Structure 1
Amino acid sequence: MRYTSTIASIIVVATLLVGCGADSHMKKGDKFFALGEYYDAANQYKKAYSATAPKERATRGQRALKLAECYRRINYTQRAIAAYNNAIRYNQADSMTHLRLAQQQMKAGSYKEAAKNFQAALDSLPGNRLAANGLKAARMAPEWKEQGSQYTVKRENFFNSRRADYSPMLAGDNNDQLYFTSTRTEVKGDELSGITGTKNGDIFVSTKDENGKWTKPQDIDTELNSEFDEGACSFSPDGKTMYLTQCTTDPQYPRYATICTSTRSDASWGKSTTLELTKDTLSSYAHPAVSPDGEWLYFTSDMPGGMGGLDIWRVRLTAAGVGGVENLGEPINTEGDEMFPTFRPNGDLYFSSDGHPGMGGLDIFIAKPDSVGGTWHIEHPGYPLNSQGDDFGMTFEGLHNRGYFSSNRGDAKGWDHIYSFVNPEIIQTVKGWVYEQEGYELPQAVVYMVGNDGTNLKLSVKGDGSFTQEIRPGVDYVLLGTCKGFLNHKEQLRVEPVTESTEYVLQFPLASITAPVLIDNIFYDFDKATLRPESTKALDELIKLLNENPNVTIELSAHCDYRGAVEYNKVLSQKRAESVVNYLVEHGIAADRLSPVGYGKEKPKTIRKKLTETYTFLKEGDVLTEDFIKKLKPEEQEICNQLNRRTEFIVLRTTYGMFDEKGNLKNPPKPKPAENQAPAEPEWTPW
């Protein structure tokens, strides 16, 4: 009897200890859950669930439900499904359990089972739009997969690791840099995240080498990355500012995602600083995306005033900072989560959502702006761009419908990987370079583009002086390259229909207002002032330039080398300058806009930096005087003499014809329209 009693006592004590242990795990789990550390919370809830006797059905069901919520948040889809089913089996399902279970079954591709649970959710939540959209998606997803689309996708294992790699973003003037977030072993810091169970993410970058091949991804070796979680970056149009998401941690308080900025100095990114979007410190701000015009920052947030869990918002970017936060509202945002906004350069907004009818977890959607009503038209790009998993984080290679995105499709652990995508659309583009005549690119330039279809755009150029813009067949375009301190240059383009993607290339060499400009390829008969026929092309270009800049007067100068009699050379150069002026006048340029001057050898050429790339024996600032030339090798002397024999022009005035005889401006600028009022006419109209 005493032995039996002892056994019974041991069982009772053990049961009490197990129960106390389970309660302890639940308390720890609840603390982790409150901090948002769902991986650590799941580990505690799992221990508590395992330590709970099957006969304690209600307790076991409640703990299964908490465990399911953690698994759902860390993308452990199959475990989440099992845990939700356990909660239902133990009669502890709440009003959202069937909805959450159905969403997880969609991610697993179990569309029939998902439809049943969406219907069950609708029975208990009549009118719930998430359940209604989910039911529609469960019925349509198999058909979408069967139909397919023009997209082709490929997993790009060169960028991927054994951990999560996501949110790729192309950068660089030639899209030759790929930034993305990774939790691979090379990240900074050794601690594992209580949220995901992996290391905190860092931003990595891969660049193309001289052969156009991607190099091994490297952790950005600056203060940009920290021991905290960094990722989901975007760039300003000029590429000088990075916007990124950062998630810090605190053992006592929940920490919310914030958006930070980093500026580029030379080739390196500086330490990030928090961008304060609102005074609300209890909401998350993540997934920044800059609009193509650089005027808006789009982002994801759960701040009050939204439509669901996470919404897409935007805030205006100004020289003085940010201001004017707006919720995008319907039809983009839903009662679900809308995340990872990004832009195609043509203005289309891509985002991911689990609230719109989709194929599984997060699906990618396209929001096309309606220029008439100021609203958005939503499109679902179908399979295989979308899958039963989470698909998000698009980035585009220029204006073409190709690039990279991230997805956790087919990964049992729910880790994300980088994929490439291609949609063979026929796209016509114009690419132009704006640069100083005889000089380098002009990144401060602006190009005005007007089409007879109503197009009226103001295009900024990249760091290499280039721009790329989509154009439409059957449209006549006029493009005007401008930059402060330079004359304008105009190009015309007629776009014809094509059967494959085509790129038109235009050059915009801008003549300096302050420095002499060489008129290249001007030829005279030997020892005479007679213009040779092959000079016509260069002179016609000069006529075009003067017509495009009607308020400019110029000095037209001719120069000789040091050889020959001084007076003879000066007379010959004067006659040559007059020959050029006569040609211009004969072709419609007003004589009082032109001043011919023959300098002979009085003004030897001063070497500019660009010319030293062709003639490496010369340095910037060298003046090709007779003494300088005679110290060179014979073949170098002849090159310098050729450089001295030149025809140039320099701008004298930029106000010709602008004022009447009383000194009043003939065409005063019109007053600007009131704020929020459309301009009365385009900024520049060539027609």
Structure 2
Amino acid sequence: MRKYFWITCIPYFLMSACSFTQKVQTGQQAYDVKQYSVATQLFEKEFEASHVPKEKARLAFFTGESYSHLNDYVSAGQWYLKAGKEGYGDESMVQYADALKHQEKYVEAAKVYEDLLKANPGNAGYRSGLTLCKQAMDWIKNANKAYNIEPVPFNSPGNDYSPQPIGQGQILFTSDRGLKQNSDPYLWTGRAYSDIFISTSNSTTPQVSEYDDHINTDDNEGTPAISPDGKMLAFTRCYVSGSYDAWCKLMMSFRRDNAWSEPQPFPFVKEKINYGQPAFAANGATIFFSSDAAEGQGGHDIYFTQPDGKGSWIEPVNLGPVINTIGEEQYPTVYNDTLYYSSDHLPGLGGLDIFKTYLDAKNQWVSPINLGAPINSGNDDFGFVVDTFTKPGNGILMTGYFTSSREGPNRNDEIYSFSLSGETKDTSVAPVLPEKKKEDQFVNYKLFVAIRVMEPEYATVDDPNSRVVGKRPLPNGPIIQSEGLMDQRFVTDELGQIILKLDWDKNYVFTARYRDHLADTYTLNTREVKKDSLNPITTINHIMVLDPVFKNKEIVLENIFYDYDQWTIREDAKPSLNNLSNIMKTNPAIRIQLSSHTDCRGTDEYNLDLSQKRAQAAVDYLKSTGIPSTRLQAQGYGESNPSVICECEKCTEEQHQKNRRTTFKIID
């Protein structure tokens, strides 16, 4: 099934959706409260009974949507196609193409997008869809043969997912196998609620049992993670039984007297926000997890938290736009310095795909790498975890587990084991990936760039000096790709994204423009992109943030400081001014006024003269970077326009500091 339900029981529709005493009479009522197994039956009956073409089209489309939520993409595709034939429109055909991708029928999905493009040749979304289909074909064709994957023997007819090896041949995992006696089904799926189970993984006939009565309740529990020292358990609990306030919380429990303590929510957990899928870093202190908090990039994002040294935990920190998108990012795990997680928005084979990334020398996350086939498939793939309790050897570099809802005997989420083979220098050192061989020259390497164009969201609307609380996409905006003297123009899709195939030995400059926004550029030298024979298809993900144009509104330049009674530009001020210079070069039509302000201390004449000299010094510096003087204007305001109004003798030093500032504003 779509695993998004695990941390989104009912935050977006009727809060009573998790109260299972509620009765529904129509397919739409069942769909609105996420009783998808019931909705499919009711929608189909209503479709057969209806004789109104427009209504039949709507019923067919929502039957397809219901089957999609149940992960039955064969049935979903059939109903989307029916909806299209009944006249529902392009949306049903886009969803039909997506259902085909989930079945790895990429050729057929590409044909759907080609037909859509014939009728809508300028639609960037359809063009991106076609590109993704072709890219997926390449991934399948170039599947990494170093991986060996097999379903584990303890899978059930239900959903089994999020494996967590804990040593001694034991694996914790989540499952909705089997209804308890006198228990009602979970009406999303028609099956049981989820609980945490434990299996002995090295036996011919694994023994599976529920994990712990302190942990499992009548609600949904799952996605367990145990700290490296074995003293702390973190997991997800979604409150659903008869509750109108049905949200998923990140829970913690501690090992005391050979038993787990009563679980408690993490202290930063807030109401009406979903948290889940924890994972411990190797240090045992940092915990990664996902959440749909409003300040994120969109959907569910990956966050981390750490102990605050005072017996509690710091507020969650978002991993940022390199990792997170406007889509779904979930199921983080960590192995050494590598973060694995799943995304449904970054370019992939379909559904959730597993990616990896790590921090570079500058402590920045590198562009996520799609693990490709056979780890990823057209359906949801997630919960990738390396088994650190199994020592590699005999040509095996790594072993572990992951979850996939790819085509299988039960068409549900199933757990797979994997092993990655390669070469090692000797058994006393860490395994290394095989060196490139001569036959590598015959590897069909391919390179793509996926650019997302976004704008900042400010805490105070229309105030560029307020805190940036998020980013939102800029749809249908032009991007100019420059390579040498050749320019090509493209348009982003409805999500502000575009995917382009690149050559390996070129310098590219991408310029994104949008009405009433400042343009931005991105330079990419593909000669510097490393090729990996184990992952021959490389996708570089980049975000271009376009700031809105605020005409005649002062914007504070950060980190512009002057020595006492001086106006010389200091070294620590140059980065901020260099950034402003780059903005002006990318936007050659704008003119700006650079302004300087002082605090209230000193005479009016002195402050006015000093501020004018400082503003002029900033203008002179920009001129030295190549900005024409006709585009620049210096204005000193002295103390006449304070940012914080206070009685001078009573102003705090912080208030004085806020009033001493250098700003710019766009005047043309």
TM-score, length of structure 2 as denominator length: 0.55
Question: Structure 1 residues 113, 334: closer, same or farther in 2, change over 3 A?
Answer: farther
Provide Cα deviations, 1:197-221, integer angstroms capped at 9, x if missing partner: 1111111112368xx7784121114
| Structure 2 residue 386 is matched with structure 1 residue 391 | no
Question: Structure 1 residues 335, 412: closer, same or farther in 2, change over 3 A?
Answer: farther
- Which of 412, 416, 421 aligns to 2:413? It is 416
- Which of 318, 328, 338 aligns to 2:319? It is 328
Kindly indicate whether the alpha-carbon contact (under 8 Å) linking 2:153 and 2:206 is maintained by their aligned counterparts in 1: no
| Structure 2 residue 351 is matched with structure 1 residue 361 | yes
Provide Cα deviations, 1:590-626, integer angstroms capped at 9, x if missing partner: xxxxxxxxxxxxxxxxxxxxxxxxxxxxxxxxxxxxx
Aligned to 1:113: 108
Supply the AA of the counterpart residue of 2:131. K
Kindly indicate whether the alpha-carbon contact (under 8 Å) linking 2:287 and 2:306 is maintained by their aligned counterparts in 1: yes
Question: Structure 1 residues 232, 221: closer, same or farther in 2, change over 3 A?
Answer: closer
Kindly indicate whether the alpha-carbon contact (under 8 Å) linking 1:153 and 1:385 is maintained by their aligned counterparts in 2: no
Could you list the runs of 5+ residues in structure 1 that have no partner in the other structure?
Answer: 1-23, 432-468, 474-687
Report the 3-state secondary structure (helix = DSSP H, G, I; strand = E; otherwise coil) of the residue aligned with 1:318: coil
- Which of 273, 276, 285 aligns to 2:264? It is 273
Provide Cα deviations, 1:459-498, integer angstroms capped at 9, x if missing partner: xxxxxxxxxx95999xxxxxxxxxxxxxxxxxxxxxxxxx
| Structure 2 residue 188 is matched with structure 1 residue 195 | yes
Supply the AA of the counterpart residue of 1:62. R
Using the TM superposition, give the Cα deviation of residue 133 of structure 1 relative to its aligned residue in structure 2, in angstroms.
5.1
| Structure 2 residue 77 is matched with structure 1 residue 75 | no
Aligned to 1:41: 39
Report the 3-state secondary structure (helix = DSSP H, G, I; strand = E; otherwise coil) of the residue aligned with 2:163: strand
Kindly indicate whether the alpha-carbon contact (under 8 Å) linking 1:370 and 1:377 is maintained by their aligned counterparts in 2: no
Provide Cα deviations, 1:49-81, integer angstroms capped at 9, x if missing partner: 23222xx01111112222222221120111111
CA distance in 2, matches of 1:167, 1:198: 18
| Structure 2 residue 182 is matched with structure 1 residue 185 | no
Supply the AA of the counterpart residue of 2:69. R
| Structure 2 residue 285 is matched with structure 1 residue 295 | yes
Report the 3-state secondary structure (helix = DSSP H, G, I; strand = E; otherwise coil) of the residue aligned with 1:321: coil
| Structure 2 residue 53 is matched with structure 1 residue 57 | yes
Report the 3-state secondary structure (helix = DSSP H, G, I; strand = E; otherwise coil) of the residue aligned with 1:322: coil
Provide Cα deviations, 1:311-331, integer angstroms capped at 9, x if missing partner: 222233435322232322333
Supply the AA of the counterpart residue of 1:45. F
Supply the AA of the counterpart residue of 2:283. D
CA distance in 1, matches of 2:400, 2:360: 24
CA distance in 2, matches of 1:352, 1:332: 10
- Which of 330, 345, 350 aligns to 1:339? It is 330
Using the TM superposition, give the Cα deviation of residue 430 of structure 1 relative to its aligned residue in structure 2, in angstroms.
9.9
Kindly indicate whether the alpha-carbon contact (under 8 Å) linking 2:179 and 2:192 is maintained by their aligned counterparts in 1: no
Aligned to 2:232: 241
Pairs aligned (count): 403
TM-score, length of structure 1 as denominator length: 0.53
Supply the AA of the counterpart residue of 2:224. C
Using the TM superposition, give the Cα deviation of residue 103 of structure 1 relative to its aligned residue in structure 2, in angstroms.
1.9
Could you list the runs of 5+ residues in structure 2 that have no partner in the other structure?
Answer: 1-21, 393-397, 434-668
Supply the AA of the counterpart residue of 2:325. T
Aligned to 2:85: 89
Aligned to 2:611: none
Question: Structure 1 residues 268, 26: closer, same or farther in 2, change over 3 A?
Answer: closer
Supply the AA of the counterpart residue of 1:374. Q
Kindly indicate whether the alpha-carbon contact (under 8 Å) linking 2:245 and 2:272 is maintained by their aligned counterparts in 1: no
Using the TM superposition, give the Cα deviation of residue 166 of structure 1 relative to its aligned residue in structure 2, in angstroms.
1.1
Report the 3-state secondary structure (helix = DSSP H, G, I; strand = E; otherwise coil) of the residue aligned with 1:44: helix
Kindly indicate whether the alpha-carbon contact (under 8 Å) linking 1:26 and 1:44 is maintained by their aligned counterparts in 2: no
Supply the AA of the counterpart residue of 2:102. K
CA distance in 1, matches of 2:285, 2:313: 10
Provide Cα deviations, 1:205-240, integer angstroms capped at 9, x if missing partner: 12368xx77841211142211122111111222222
| Structure 2 residue 219 is matched with structure 1 residue 228 | yes
Question: Structure 1 residues 373, 262: closer, same or farther in 2, change over 3 A?
Answer: closer
CA distance in 1, matches of 2:123, 2:361: 33
Using the TM superposition, give the Cα deviation of residue 28 of structure 1 relative to its aligned residue in structure 2, in angstroms.
4.1
Question: Structure 1 residues 40, 162: closer, same or farther in 2, change over 3 A?
Answer: same
CA distance in 1, matches of 2:139, 2:185: 39
Question: Structure 1 residues 365, 188: closer, same or farther in 2, change over 3 A?
Answer: farther
Question: Structure 1 residues 179, 317: closer, same or farther in 2, change over 3 A?
Answer: same
Of structures 1 and 2, the one scoring higher in RCO (CA 8 A, sep 6+) is 2
CA distance in 2, matches of 1:230, 1:50: 38
Supply the AA of the counterpart residue of 2:45. K
Provide Cα deviations, 1:120-159, integer angstroms capped at 9, x if missing partner: 7778797767x66543331022222222214433334421
| Structure 2 residue 150 is matched with structure 1 residue 152 | no
Provide Cα deviations, 1:78-97, integer angstroms capped at 9, x if missing partner: 11112222222222236x44
Provide Cα deviations, 1:528-547, integer angstroms capped at 9, x if missing partner: xxxxxxxxxxxxxxxxxxxx
CA distance in 1, matches of 2:146, 2:235: 28
| Structure 2 residue 169 is matched with structure 1 residue 170 | no
Using the TM superposition, give the Cα deviation of residue 381 of structure 1 relative to its aligned residue in structure 2, in angstroms.
2.0
Provide Cα deviations, 1:627-673, integer angstroms capped at 9, x if missing partner: xxxxxxxxxxxxxxxxxxxxxxxxxxxxxxxxxxxxxxxxxxxxxxx
Supply the AA of the counterpart residue of 2:225. S
Question: Structure 1 residues 365, 472: closer, same or farther in 2, change over 3 A?
Answer: closer
Using the TM superposition, give the Cα deviation of residue 187 of structure 1 relative to its aligned residue in structure 2, in angstroms.
5.7
Question: Structure 1 residues 143, 127: closer, same or farther in 2, change over 3 A?
Answer: same
Report the 3-state secondary structure (helix = DSSP H, G, I; strand = E; otherwise coil) of the residue aligned with 2:44: helix
CA distance in 1, matches of 2:332, 2:283: 15
| Structure 2 residue 404 is matched with structure 1 residue 407 | yes
CA distance in 2, matches of 1:171, 1:77: 34
Kindly indicate whether the alpha-carbon contact (under 8 Å) linking 1:151 and 1:385 is maintained by their aligned counterparts in 2: no
- More deviation, 137-146/43-52: 43-52
Report the 3-state secondary structure (helix = DSSP H, G, I; strand = E; otherwise coil) of the residue aligned with 1:286: strand
Counterparts of 1:532-571 in structure 2 under 5 Å?
Answer: none
Question: Structure 1 residues 336, 230: closer, same or farther in 2, change over 3 A?
Answer: same
Kindly indicate whether the alpha-carbon contact (under 8 Å) linking 1:222 and 1:271 is maintained by their aligned counterparts in 2: no
Using the TM superposition, give the Cα deviation of residue 267 of structure 1 relative to its aligned residue in structure 2, in angstroms.
4.2
Report the 3-state secondary structure (helix = DSSP H, G, I; strand = E; otherwise coil) of the residue aligned with 2:144: coil
Using the TM superposition, give the Cα deviation of residue 264 of structure 1 relative to its aligned residue in structure 2, in angstroms.
2.5
Question: Structure 1 residues 427, 276: closer, same or farther in 2, change over 3 A?
Answer: farther
Using the TM superposition, give the Cα deviation of residue 427 of structure 1 relative to its aligned residue in structure 2, in angstroms.
6.0
Report the 3-state secondary structure (helix = DSSP H, G, I; strand = E; otherwise coil) of the residue aligned with 1:307: coil
CA distance in 2, matches of 1:429, 1:395: 25
Using the TM superposition, give the Cα deviation of residue 349 of structure 1 relative to its aligned residue in structure 2, in angstroms.
0.9
Supply the AA of the counterpart residue of 1:145. I
Supply the AA of the counterpart residue of 1:410. E
Aligned to 1:454: none
Give the superposed CA RMSD: 3.3
**Identity of counterpart residues, as a percentage?**
29
Supply the AA of the counterpart residue of 1:207. T
Kindly indicate whether the alpha-carbon contact (under 8 Å) linking 1:187 and 1:219 is maintained by their aligned counterparts in 2: no
CA distance in 2, matches of 1:48, 1:231: 36
Provide Cα deviations, 1:329-349, integer angstroms capped at 9, x if missing partner: 3332223322211112x1211
CA distance in 2, matches of 1:101, 1:314: 36
CA distance in 1, matches of 2:265, 2:250: 6
Question: Structure 1 residues 40, 257: closer, same or farther in 2, change over 3 A?
Answer: farther
Using the TM superposition, give the Cα deviation of residue 283 of structure 1 relative to its aligned residue in structure 2, in angstroms.
3.1
